[in-house]
Structure 1
Amino acid sequence: MSICPLDDRYRKETAPVREIMAGPALAQARVEVEIRYLIALSDEPGVIELPRFTTDMQIRLKNIYENFDAPDYYIVLDHENNPTTGTRHDVKAIEYWLRNRLAPLHVPVQFVHFALTSEDVTNLAYGLLINRLLCTVIDVTLSLFIGNLRRFARKHINAPLLGMTHLQPATPTTVGEQLLVFTDRLKRKLREIRKFRMHGKFGGAVGNLSAHYAAYPDVNWHEFRTKFVRSLGLSPLKRTTQINPHDDIARLSHLMSELNGILIDLAQDMPLYIGRGVFCLHAVPGEVGSSTMPHKVNPTDWETAKGALGAANALFDFFARELPVNKLQRELCDSIIQRFIGEAFAAHHLAVVKMLRGLEKVSINTTALLKEIDENPEVFGEAIQTVMRRYGYVDAYEQLKEMTRGKRVTIGELCDFIDTLEQMPDDAKLRLKNSIAHNLMDPSHPPFMREALDFPLYERGNEGDFPRV
């Protein structure tokens, strides 16, 4: 049983995030940090009591965290929560478990967790997990969605669409143009996320490496810290309290919140297009839209996505606001807050998966697209008055306002009006009237729109290509 729908109803969709961010994964990452630190200590010549590990021994040590499995996790939990012998401390439980595993290898176990505080291990473990999650699940799934949306948009780059501003008819655009707005926004945000890297704090109880220098004053621990943290793919922090100040998670939370805001915008628009009838939503055999109305085919994928993104942003906003604030050198609030990071990313991932499915069920309704514009020809007033201005009509806007504002006009009336414009050359009149007529009759020639361009599906940047998924 689970109290969270992400681990119950949506367990299948969120599995990739769970594999990286759930409790067993965090424990495994902590073990990885402890072992890689132990190996780094053995490579430090100044730590003379810990001989350098052979290549074979390093492989055996790495196998411990690479093969960390469910039974190992439950043993760690027992070390922590056993009613009589439990540590009630998650990282200390890891240390005791690891000492037991290393004893048969005749490793000097006193160097396990040497001069560290639990936050040294935990923040580096979270850094490993979050970087991995971003580079794999988040990037790959979002890139796939951007690619699919891009293809759908390019396919319908010339399909005319009645614009709607303030939920009122506005200048026509195209289906493709409007969807490409979202792909451009998503790509810009994804590029920012790709440049992001988690920070790494390493410095002992109050961040100043005092215990390290007390034990081995001749070792350059500041240099050791920089090298070790970078070996984990993290950006080293030079000055900290006991904890990573979480400015990295705050920044990432803002980035994810902004990304989710773009996705919410799209998830909100798609049901509106479907409700207008300009997009068709295909029924899936066996699915039910309503428990009482048999005819219903609802845009539930998009609506579920919007709700999940809202839940994710509630958490991301909370992280950004609360995590960077700690009393003096340490309080424990950040510890429990960080345990919800996986839920935030899982909710985001669920939303993108739902939007991928929703996009697969949608097609355009050309008849409805043309009918909407046919019933609102006054929306061509912007183009007409702008062309009029080119040819010297100072009161062009006022003339079109008088003719169209709050009124219904026909295409014939618009064409007759254009014919009365003596200052406008005949070829300009013809082009204007043909553009209007083509938009109403031929979806391959929308008015005032540039021809479809051969957009690249993925754009090359300094951060590399979008992955081919």
Structure 2
Amino acid sequence: MATPGAEEDMLARYRSPLVSRYASAEMAFNFSERKKFGTWRRLWLYLAQAEKSLGLPITDEQIQEMEANLDNIDFKMAAEEEKKLRHDVMAHVHTFAHCCPKAAAIIHLGATSCYVGDNTLARVISRLADFAEKYADLPTLGFTHYQPAQLTTVGKRCCLWIQDLCMDLQKLEQARDDLRFRGVKGTTGTQASFLQLFEGDHSKVKHLIYSVLISRAYIVTGQTYSRKVDIEVLSVLASLGASIHKICTDIRLLANLKEIEEPFEKEQIGSSAMPYKRNPMRSERCCSLARHLMTLVLDPLQTASVQWFERTLDDSANRRVCLAEAFLTADIILSTLQNISEGLVVYPKVIERRIRQELPFMATENIIMAMVKAGGNRQDCHEKIRVLSQQAAAVVKQEGGDNDLITRVHADPYFSPIHGHLESLLDPSSFTGRAPQQVAKFLKEEVRPALMPYQSKMGGKIELAL
């Protein structure tokens, strides 16, 4: 048997489909080893620069050597060191020191391993806002309990989706703005090692924090920052998953009704056995992965609850999996939803046909009121409409025919005073209430202002690999 090459050897090992099939290159890189360990090296550089500025014996030559080797990472050596040391941070300290021999003594000086430890949503909202605006006036049958209800408009229904996503955007922005660095605090968060380095000078320790950090830091921590931070972040992502699941479920149901369809590629195959099918595969993918995303918030909830005193290590392996998977999954379903929202297809004639089937029943109250205005007796009119409605319903349910209620009203001489007005009484736009005005107000007052900070990043379409 031939010895497998590097590529074949990789194919013999499990690879998460989150990365191999779905995730964007940018998000996959964010959780790659190169990005992670490159970030560690930059943090060690910032720490050394700050310590030098505060008087520790660190030379310019050592700093320059670190700067020159930030991305010169020997991953094979790091893996061998970790196998030997059983500590990933110290393995990379040794690997960095190997290519920075002059700086070896000051890398990670005084620190602990826990020192180193979105625009797509806005684009989705923007695309859906354009869709809602375009179809703000198009009447469609509303559903409650998935049974026919009063009319709404296609644009108004879309605004319900947008509203959920705007809430998610607000929570994401809040979670991002609330994030802080753990800070430079040593093994149990007391900064004792740094106080010793600076010979008891508290002012230098405080200055070190501000020199290293470009953002806020927690005032108190144990060896790690509170794991409740992970709960806050993943809760927002899980909530986003719930929103996208609901949106894509609606799209799947509408696809079954043939009213709205997601984009369908020219050579795409819906079913190997049924060539006529156009399955909502992208919406189904979003629902499938959104369910996974919603479950991931359970991990940080349990992790935070079992952290003992200043820290236990049973958080580490769990966080390596759930944090990366949460962001990768959120990236995938948002990118897929953007692709869907950029190519939604609406079939107005199908929507109109379904309205015609249900609207006569909804119009019975309007017919009664018109007859009363024409001099009729409300009770007599109500009884006649009730009988005709039941006859029409029997045609629909028992014979599979079309709703012929209006034909029956036309044929009944009792209703002759309003025969000339029946068409106007059945105008679908008169049954949508203020839906079009609500769409305009919502987009103007809530959606467009929320998107203003992202205007420079609205361009670019999503092309899915699968």
Same fold? TM cut 0.5: yes
Q: 1:357/1:387 Cα in 2 relative to 1: closer, same or farther (>3 Å)? A: farther
Aligned to 1:243, the other structure's residue is in SS state coil
Partner of residue 261 from structure 1, selected from 227, 236, 242: 242
Q: CA deviation at 1:170?
A: 0.3
AA in 1 matched with 2:40? R
Task: Provide the rounded CA distance (Å) in 2 between the counterparts of 1:80 and 1:381.
Answer: 74
Partner of residue 87 from structure 2, selected from 89, 93, 100: 89
Deviation per CA, 1:11-47: give whole Å up to 9, x if none.
xx432211111222211111111111111111224x3
Range that drifts further, 353-362 or 328-337: 353-362
Partner of residue 194 from structure 1, selected from 169, 173, 186: 173
Task: Provide the rounded CA distance (Å) in 2 between the counterparts of 1:89 and 1:140.
Answer: 35
Range that drifts further, 349-358 or 333-342: 349-358
Deviation per CA, 1:182-205: give whole Å up to 9, x if none.
112212321221232323223111
Correspondence for 2:453: 464
Task: Provide the rounded CA distance (Å) in 1 between the counterparts of 2:327 and 2:212.
Answer: 24
Aligned to 2:143, the other structure's residue is in SS state strand
Task: Provide the rounded CA distance (Å) in 1 between the counterparts of 2:167 and 2:276.
Answer: 40
Range that drifts further, 217-226 or 193-202: 217-226
The ranges of structure 1 where at least 4 consecutive aligned residues each deviate by more than 6 angstroms after the TM superposition are 385-388, 404-407, 412-417
Correspondence for 2:258: 277
Correspondence for 2:108: 113
Q: 1:435/1:31 Cα in 2 relative to 1: closer, same or farther (>3 Å)? A: farther
Partner of residue 50 from structure 1, selected from 44, 53, 58: 58
Range that drifts further, 361-370 or 445-454: 445-454
Correspondence for 2:326: 344
Deviation per CA, 1:425-459: give whole Å up to 9, x if none.
x9xx97xx6764221xxx7x764234463845953
Report percent identity of matched pairs: 17
- Tell me how large the CA RMSD over aligned residues is: 3.6
Partner of residue 78 from structure 1, selected from 56, 80, 93: 80
Superposed, 1:282-321 pairs within 5 Å as 283-321=264-302
Aligned to 1:376, the other structure's residue is in SS state helix
Task: Provide the rounded CA distance (Å) in 2 between the counterparts of 1:59 and 1:164.
Answer: 66
Does the 8 Å contact 1:158/1:174 carry over to 2?
yes
TM-score by length of 2: 0.77
Q: CA deviation at 1:230?
A: 3.7
Q: 1:381/1:7 Cα in 2 relative to 1: closer, same or farther (>3 Å)? A: same
Aligned to 1:173, the other structure's residue is in SS state strand
Q: 1:295/1:465 Cα in 2 relative to 1: closer, same or farther (>3 Å)? A: closer
Q: CA deviation at 1:225?
A: 5.6
Correspondence for 1:101: 99
Report how many residues are paired.
Answer: 413
TM-score by length of 1: 0.77
Q: CA deviation at 1:63?
A: 4.5
**2:206 counterpart of 1:250:** no
Does the 8 Å contact 2:135/2:154 carry over to 1?
yes
**2:197 counterpart of 1:215:** yes
**2:427 counterpart of 1:448:** no
Correspondence for 1:19: 29
Task: Provide the rounded CA distance (Å) in 2 between the counterparts of 1:228 and 1:40.
Answer: 5
Task: Provide the rounded CA distance (Å) in 1 between the counterparts of 2:306 and 2:391.
Answer: 54
Q: 1:166/1:461 Cα in 2 relative to 1: closer, same or farther (>3 Å)? A: closer
Task: Provide the rounded CA distance (Å) in 1 between the counterparts of 2:424 and 2:317.
Answer: 61
Higher relative contact order (CA 8 A, sep 6+): 2
Task: Provide the rounded CA distance (Å) in 2 between the counterparts of 1:101 and 1:61.
Answer: 9
Superposed, 1:58-77 pairs within 5 Å as 61-65=66-70, 68=71, 72-77=74-79
Correspondence for 2:4: none
Gaps of 5+ in 2: 1-10, 394-402, 460-466
**2:18 counterpart of 1:35:** no
Tell which structure's C-alpha radius of gyration is larger: 2
More helix by share: 2
Deviation per CA, 1:268-319: give whole Å up to 9, x if none.
1101001011124564232222222222211000001111111122123322
Q: CA deviation at 1:379?
A: 6.0
